[in-house]
Amino acid sequence: MPSVIRVEEQRHGTTVVASLDGELDASSVGDVAVRVRRLVQNRELRLVVDLARVTYMDSAGINLLYAVGDELRARQQQLHLVIAPGSPILRTLAIVGADRSFPVHPSLDDALAG
């Protein structure tokens, strides 16, 4: 079954951005995990995962964010999230405390400036 999510990659100096578009769930998380982990090298200081266009996220997606965040923290790098204000994704991540575990920005421009 084809993945229901797209991953776009960008680099901005020492920040790498993974913009996700679609559903981040058990059927797509494996592909996303591989792509996101390949993005971050030792020279980057942080990874921004842009979830503004994610329409659905289940526990597999949440677990991926925590796993990647822990991996980056161990390498003295940071994970930042972009979540649109009022998004159901923001509410979901707030329920599990991810908004307190990682810096959350309302837009990609804010994340890159922060």
Is the pLDDT reported for residue 19 higher than 70?
yes
| Of 65 and 2, the one with more pLDDT | 65
pTM, entire model: 0.94
pLDDT tens string 82-100: 999 999 999 999 999 998 9
Residues 11, 15, 21, 26, CA torsion sign = positive
- Residue 43, pLDDT > 90, answer no
User: What integer best gives the mean pLDDT of the chain?
Assistant: 93
Polymer length in residues for the chain = 114
SS3 89: helix
Q: Does position 74 have pLDDT exceeding 60, yes or no? A: yes
Domains parsed from the chain with CATH numbers: 5-113 (3.30.750.24)
* Exposure letters 31-42 (e unless 16+ CB within 10 A, then b): ebbebbeebbee
Tokens read off for 100 = 């307190």
